[in-house]
Structure 1
Amino acid sequence: MTGPMRPAFHEGQVLAAADLTATVEYARGLSARHARHLHEWGVAEGLGLVTEPRTDPVSNDRYVEVRVSPGYAVDGTGREVVLTEPVVLRESDFEEVNGADPARDKEKEPYPVFLAAADREPAAPARPDSCGGTGASTRVEESYEISFGRLGEERTVAERQPPAIGDPPVGPSNPWRILLGYVRWVGGHFSGVETEARGVPVRYSGVRADIVSAQSGSLTLRTGQSAQEGKPAVVLSGGDQPGLVFGLYQGGGTVDPLLTMEANGNLKIKGSFEGTMPAGSTLVTSGTATDGMLLPLPTGITAQQVADGRVVVHVHLTPRTPPALGESLLYIPVEATVDDDLRVRCRARLYDLTDRTGGVVERPGAADFLVVATVTATNGGG
């Protein structure tokens, strides 16, 4: 087995075209392997599908013109694809691929748009020189090809496997297609664009790494290329106050901390905390309820969990006696129950010992409650 061959030169050597080509191919292979194995392939910058409203001069129908914006991508073989100017998608190209598609209603499904690298000869090839040159071109344009796909064809692109480690960048006979998005087609024109269809979104480039280090002592992860107000960010800080912060960007570019983990393990949260509990966990809440009141569930327990049987609720009620009734009044609780909806039923009777008619008054009462919620052992921890 041999590794990559690096060209070497010596004094007095006659350089053939193959020697110079080998120099270029070695550099291309080095760059391709770096991009292929240290990064995830996909769109790196731009290349979005942009629409511009238009009107059909014959039918007066409204439609959109679709352009691919300038940008940069890397395919699965490590080859770069560069668009320096916007490219207008031609409706005739779409019709050529999908015009005779009677199996589906084209107005309901978005169709994929692909980008692939392509080699082309420059428009003006070099002329033969005075030393008997062949006149063959001495340049190759690393160009591109934009094409439309049939419905569902985006899945073959998403599932394609990268080449072996030693393989060169993709050649023109087997182009690696990159999904740019989807177009909708109505009445012979484009009607809109999408970035995802049938579970396959546009793929963006990424990084493969087990370690990411920051030179400034602070590492930030965010969802956009720039800090945008209201967007989330994760900040890992070192220095004098090390910690981990999750929050949202404010107008000045600072992060409003919603969750902070300090170096000593302290956790600070703005808002409530919700999550699954392991089997056997117990939560408790208590207080005082009057007749007709719904008892609250402990924090973190939902009515749906109780209804599904994932949580078992136990309730204990202790009737309360009014603090001052007078020596001649007798207060006797007669009912302190709770129904399946956790609604309290609490009644009491009041006897006046000085009333010779034996009058009895029944009225709503109050009770101290204790609600215990236990996660069952068969709920999978949820």
Structure 2
Amino acid sequence: MTGPLRPEFHEGQVLASFDLAATVSYARATALRHARLAHDWGIADGLAMTTENRTDPTTGARYVEVSVQPGLAIDGTGREIVVPAPVVLSEADFEAVNGADRPTTEPYPVFLTAVDRAQPSTGLGSCAGSTGPTRVEESYQILFRRLGDERLVADQQPPAVNAAPAAPPVLWLVLLGFVQWTDGHFTAVFPNARGVGPRYLGVRADTVSARSGSLSLRTQPEAGEGKPALVLSGTTAPTLVYGLYKGTGDVDPLLTVESNGNLTIAGSFSGQISAGSVLVTSGSATDGMVLPLPSGVTPEEVADGRVSLHVSVTPRVPPSAKGLTVPAEATVDDQRRVRCRLRFYDPAAGSTTVKERSGAVDFLVLATVAATSGGG
């Protein structure tokens, strides 16, 4: 099996149409292989489905006119599909495919696919009298399919690495979204349905570098206020910042990793407790309260023995202007429930009765995992 063939020319060579076509095919095949193998196929830009409110002049029913906006997609063969201008979806085409279905609120998938359309010759005819087309329009077609056909997208298989640029034997389907159909009209548009949505263009790379010294990763093409971003910067002091965009376009840092390894976070830190570490919580609790666990420790970890708890409680004896108050009990049971009782005696009251009442404690809870236990 040979590799790609690159056309070569020399002085005095008689050029046939095949030779000229080979120059185009070689460049086209190179571009297709790059798009197919260095990227993940999908929508590159635009192609959103938008709606305009309409009223049926006969029935007075409200519906929507659906349009696909201009944009570009790369299909799984590496081919570009260009939609140069807005196109209104045809209700007649939809009805021809799904018009016989029973009424349903389930949305139907809408697909985009590449289509070649030969154009008639516009130049002078050849000496041999050939009248074949001299141009091929790389066009598109919008297709309506049956309910559930959105699952076909995941089953499509790309051509072989050395496949020549040609129309695929089966149309490659690019999902644009979903439409709802009611009483002969489109009534709504949905980006996702039944757990499936449009697929967007990706890149396959082990290294991504930035010439400016700062590399940003965000969830939208434009920096929108309140949207997340991850920024790797090395212009002055190298840092890794995760945060949210402010109205100015700057990133408000929520987590920062500095070049020396220092970690700064704006919120609280929680996570699975690691082997050999100790987590602590403290505070005050009254009789009957259940002591809290340190942040990052779950009751399940305590129950199955992965985490050991060490609890210390100290009764709080309130100062009294007269009389005597002493702690009678300050304990914590297996459920971490506090039991605190105080005894009070006032000799000036002329009574020998000792009264008992509930009290409060200061607590300290330590959660530990032994370094040799393999926990964490």
Q: Letter of the aligned partner of 2:2 in structure 1?
A: T
The answer to whether the aligner puts 1:319 opposite 2:315 as a matched pair is: yes
Structure 2 unaligned residues grouped into runs of 5+: none
Distance apart, 1:299 and its partner CA: 2.3
Q: 1:326-357: CA deviations, max 9, x gaps?
A: 7xx44332233446764533221122456664
Does the aligned pair in 2 maintain the 1:73–1:80 contact within 8 Å?
yes
SS at match of 1:197: coil
Q: Distance in 1 between matches of 2:284 and 2:49?
A: 61
Q: State how 1:161-180 maps to structure 2 within 5 Å.
A: 161-171=157-167, 173-180=169-176
Does the aligned pair in 2 maintain the 1:116–1:176 contact within 8 Å?
yes
Name the counterpart of 1:18: 18
Does the aligned pair in 2 maintain the 1:111–1:151 contact within 8 Å?
yes
Distance apart, 1:44 and its partner CA: 0.4
Name the counterpart of 1:91: 91
Name the counterpart of 2:364: 370
The answer to whether the aligner puts 1:204 opposite 2:200 as a matched pair is: yes
Q: State how 1:112-151 maps to structure 2 within 5 Å.
A: 112-122=109-119, 124-126=120-122, 129=125, 131-151=127-147
- Match for 1:249 among 238, 245, 252? 245
Please provide the CA RMSD for this pair: 2.8
Range moving further from structure 2, 356-365 or 268-277: 356-365
Q: Distance in 2 between matches of 1:141 and 1:258?
A: 50
The answer to whether the aligner puts 1:285 opposite 2:281 as a matched pair is: yes
Range moving further from structure 2, 145-154 or 347-356: 347-356
Query: Which TM-score applies when normalising by structure 1?
Result: 0.88
Matched length: 374
Name the counterpart of 1:159: 155
Q: Cα gap change, 1:2/1:172 in structure 2, threshold over 3 Å: closer, same or farther?
A: closer
Range moving further from structure 2, 306-315 or 112-121: 306-315
Range moving further from structure 2, 300-309 or 41-50: 300-309
Distance apart, 1:52 and its partner CA: 0.9
Does the aligned pair in 1 maintain the 2:310–2:366 contact within 8 Å?
yes
Does the aligned pair in 2 maintain the 1:127–1:135 contact within 8 Å?
no
Q: Distance in 2 between matches of 1:65 and 1:342?
A: 63
Q: Cα gap change, 1:72/1:332 in structure 2, threshold over 3 Å: closer, same or farther?
A: same
Name the counterpart of 2:68: 68
Distance apart, 1:62 and its partner CA: 0.8
Query: Which TM-score applies when normalising by structure 2?
Result: 0.90
Which stretches of structure 1, 4 residues or longer, exceed 4 Å deviation after superposition? 279-282, 302-314, 322-326, 338-343, 353-356, 374-377
Range moving further from structure 2, 261-270 or 151-160: 151-160
| Identity fraction in percent | 62
Name the counterpart of 1:298: 294
Q: Distance in 2 between matches of 1:136 and 1:159?
A: 37
Structure 1 unaligned residues grouped into runs of 5+: none
Q: Distance in 2 between matches of 1:315 and 1:183?
A: 60
Does the aligned pair in 2 maintain the 1:41–1:205 contact within 8 Å?
yes
Name the counterpart of 2:209: 213
Q: Distance in 1 between matches of 2:235 and 2:151?
A: 47
Distance apart, 1:110 and its partner CA: 1.2
Distance apart, 1:234 and its partner CA: 0.8
Name the counterpart of 1:346: 340
